[in-house]
Chain A
Amino acid sequence: MKSSVIVFPGSNCDRDIKVALEKMQFKNQMIWHKETKLPKSDLIVLPGGFSYGDYLRSGAIAGKSLIIDEVIKAANDGCLVLGICNGFQILTETGLLKGTLLRNKNLKFINKDVQIRVMNNESKFLNKYKKDQVLKINIAHNEGNFFTSKNHLEELKKENLIAFKYCDEKANITEGSNPNGSLENIAGIYNSKKNILGMMPHPERMIDKVISNTDGVNLFSSLLN
């Protein structure tokens, strides 16, 4: 499977995702944001980090960069697109995903391992997980507070497009387990065709027992499935 990771000035999880993809046997290429052509890819990843120093709004400037037109075209043609953390913010700024990520409710940068529950595993991204499975995955963000319009929230629920919700260790979705104030504890969403996934947690940080755990591995093996 061929993957392309888009690199912006200020991306800082681009190497992590590269290591994860290559460990899982993806044929990966790193693509600088000034490129105007995207190599043929089965998966495009927008990595985490602080593209353009979060100037204006997180992801706003990266969302208008040269390569993004190609990403939008590929996404509309059905290519798989994964946005992690800043990548999720960029996806909302391009309009590929609806909604937005506001500043964390407690105004603090949060870097910790949290529990998330797999809400809908029927996708190219999550088919190796079980529905309602609880994963322990790292989050590291200042703007992860998911917000969207009432209509979009209804659409997300009706069409089952919520991929992950923050939860406690027993899979209960509670206010106490919501780290950043996200609407209804939402941690990740799909677009209506489910070829795009945006998520705040970092699965690429959870692929090695030595440094964390392996709860992120199945996201990559799902894609290869």
Chain B
Amino acid sequence: MKFSITVTLKKDVLDPQGKVVQNTLINLGLNLKNIRQGKYFEIEIDEKDQAEAENNVNEMCKKLLVNLIIEDYKINKL
């Protein structure tokens, strides 16, 4: 079973990299309102039960992949 995880900075955390990318896109003449930069993971798990697999992925996020003080995450089944 395959999952994707998207990790983004929480709304109230400053994202200076996102700001620089945003300014560069504006300088290129492209129209946008806001950008937040994040991280993306793809995870493959040997597990047939979807709920169990999702629990595993959730635990991976909490234990290592995500710093819950500053980041939010979303899990999607691929």
Contact = CB atoms under 8 A, between A and B. Distances in A.
Interface residues on B, range: 10 to 19
B64 A102 contact: no
Interface residues of A, number: 18
Contact of A181 (B14, B20, B65, B67): B14
Contacts of B16: 103-107
Interface string B4-20: 00000000011011001
B69 interface: yes
B35 interface: no
Nearest to A60: B64
Contact of B14 (A60, A100, A105, A148): A105
The secondary structure that dominates the B interface is: helix
Q: Is the interface of A mostly helix, strand, loop or mixed?
A: loop
A98 B17 CA distance: 24
Contact of B13 (A60, A104, A107, A147): A147
B1 interface: no
A219 B27 CA distance: 48
Contact of B69 (A56, A103, A149): A149
Given A56-B65, A181-B14, A147 B70 contact: yes
A57 interface: yes
B13 A103 contact: no
A37 interface: no
A170 to B, nearest CB: 28
A64 interface: yes
A99 B69 contact: yes
A100 B64 contact: no
A100 B65 contact: no
Instruction: Sort A-B residue pairs by CB-CB distance and give the 8 closest, nearest first.
Output: A100-B69, A107-B16, A100-B70, A100-B67, A57-B67, A105-B16, A103-B16, A64-B64
Interface of A: 56-57, 60, 64, 93, 98-100, 102-107, 147-149, 181
8 contacts: A57-B67, A60-B64, A100-B67, A102-B13, A102-B70, A104-B16, A107-B17, A147-B69
Interface of B: 13-14, 16-17, 20, 63-65, 67, 69-70
